[in-house]
Amino acid sequence: MAVELPSHPPALFPTLGNDATDMVSTLRSTAPVLPHRLTPLDHRSSHAEHTARPRAKSSGPIPPIRQRTRTLSSLAANPRHPPFLRAAKQPRVLAMLLACSSWATAWALFNTCRDIRDFIYCPELRDVILSRFVPDYAACLRVSDPRRLTKVPIALTELNTLMISRAMPLHRFPMHALTCVSGLLPNVDDLEREETRKLTTFALVHTRFVLLLQSLAHSSILSPPPEQHELTLRLRPEPRLRQLNFPPPLSHKSASEPSPVSRGRKNSVGSRKSSDSVRSDTTSLVTRSLSRPANRLSIFRTGSKAPPPPASEPRSLRHYTSGWRHALQRASGSFSDDEWGRKKPLERAHRRLASVNLSSGSSSLSSPSPPFSRDSTVESSPIRRDVSTHDLSLATQRTRAPILRVFVPCTEMERDDEEGSIAQCEDQLYDAGLWPYLSLGDIVCNFGYVPPASPDVSDGSLPDATREIVSRSTWLLFDGRRLVPYSPPESLPLSDPTMLPSPFYFIHIIPPLSDPLFTVRGFPACDDIPQLTLVTVSAKVRSPHSPLGYALVKKSAWTARVWRRVAQDDEMGQGWQGEWILEADGTLEGQRILVNCLRGVTGPYRQWQIVREKCAGDRLYLRLIKTFASKRSTISRLTNHASQMTV
């Protein structure tokens, strides 16, 4: 089918009107009509036109068919930013929208368009999002200082990964690590490799948000609120005694009681029945009194009348109650406010120690609270015993070391070569971009570490000391340059622990009955004049004849009492400021050691113990455990002794 084209094409724009609609109609009227191929449906429609009854023709002209055109009015009707997007960019509107939305709903909202996904890169909108879904982020944000804040980059996908990891039980990490280290085949299948990659991502994302909360908390210039619990339960091994609630007496004298003769008749008639009923009623009453301590009324009460006190108390009951009452007083009264006194709160450092330059390290602000303010000062939320140490909400404390996560399946934490497990943990942190944000004293927990099975000690082949070493937990500490293993209650593997924000920086990973230990060559010089006193102290000595394994002995010791001040630009953490009491042997050598340590004299390595029971308020009690003599000094001492013997 040929198409005849006009010899002279018509003018495309015969007239240029002011309206864009005239232009479009002109183009439509002058455009040539090209033939098209008929489909079977078109054939049926053409056949129906021939067979159908003809319609009556209208006298007027047929109006042209109006088609949708992209004119200027249509472009103006579809703006680039819809009204919802403009409203969601307001922080208050977004906060109200997320307050009534779960994470699943919010994640669906963030995936609608790119503009909403970019909310996480806007500082104001990012704070709104993280305050809604990250625990304690809003509390840290209120006290943070933007000028001192170290910004840790966060992406929206990482927030989604954090929400998934928080809903996942932690036992999946060691279970999968046990599967990896116990595999017989050297090759790893794709499913196991994918599971390892997923768990590694979960651990590193948790670490990123811990560092984010730490940067917010340590940028504050305010002192954290005090905390006044949990230390007594850590220090005392005695279990908490439940107070017994005895039922009221089964009979008592009253004005309305019958005479003894009539009472004797009634008791003689139904003695067996009353004894059975009284026994059952007494048992049910004891059960109800233990389950509901507040309801202590007798079953014989009438209305709201309370039962009278018992007439007399048996001698055996007095001995029993006095025993558990004295035990309860010993468990709760040894740490009273009267014994320790109340001190004026001190200021703590507000800066977090930098990992790049240790000389510019600083510490955090904290305000001690009597009693035990040094040991129990925390951030905005107190430590709850039902919360795990790995919980994200505990990362907001400035006087406790944060616990970071990595996942490297292994059975030994060693640094033999570059392929060791510790080196792999460092590589994970470096590849994730988290290594520059580490600070001195950060704890790294390898969730893939599966300690070797402890040997069978049922036959007594291993001593108690070896059995204790096998059961210790192994952590990794950042010493400013690398990760070093640490198994509490060993001495801290840090060259200068006084740079930490607090003396009790690792108290949450130390066993309850242990005191922190650290080894230093000396302390910074103190301006205060020490007060030396010769006292008598009690010490524990191992004894195989004692049922507890040790015996208490009294010995003489020298104590030096000083007041140490810490300036803002000092390398020592502000948590170490306060009254220091140093204890050494009651000899002339012990006295000389205390004087040299307070003068800032650098000597051999000495191990010190922080006695938690004697630390209260702004008081820090340090006890000298032992001195490590160097080989050079030992050889020189032996040489001098040999020369004197020769002379």
Phi and psi based region of residue 31 (left: phi greater than 0; alpha: psi -120 to 50; beta: remaining): beta
15: tokens are 């007239």
- Residues in CB range of 148: below 8 A, 6 or more apart: 218, 219, 221, 350, 351
Is 64 in contact with 26 (CB distance < 8 Å)? no
So what's the pLDDT on residue 43?
45
Strand 605-610 versus strand 619-628 pairing type: antiparallel
Is 499 in contact with 571 (CB distance < 8 Å)? yes
257: tokens are 């009681």
Three-state DSSP class for residue 410: strand
So what's the pLDDT on residue 81?
62
So what's the pLDDT on residue 359?
34
So what's the pLDDT on residue 345?
38
**Residues in the chain where the model's pLDDT stays below 50:** 9, 11-21, 23-24, 26-59, 70-77, 225-244, 246, 251-280, 282-302, 316-317, 319-351, 353-386, 457-471, 634-635, 638, 641-642, 647
pLDDT tens per residue, range 553-573: 888 999 999 999 888 778 888
Among 398, 478, 492, 475, residue whose Cα is nearest residue 440: 478
| Its pTM surpasses 0.75 | no
- Quick one: CA torsion of 69, 71, 76, 78, rounded to 10 degrees? 20
Q: How many CA atoms, within 13 angstroms, populate the side-chain half-sphere of residue 560?
A: 23
170: tokens are 């932690």
For residue 260, the Cα-to-chain-centroid distance in whole angstroms is: 69
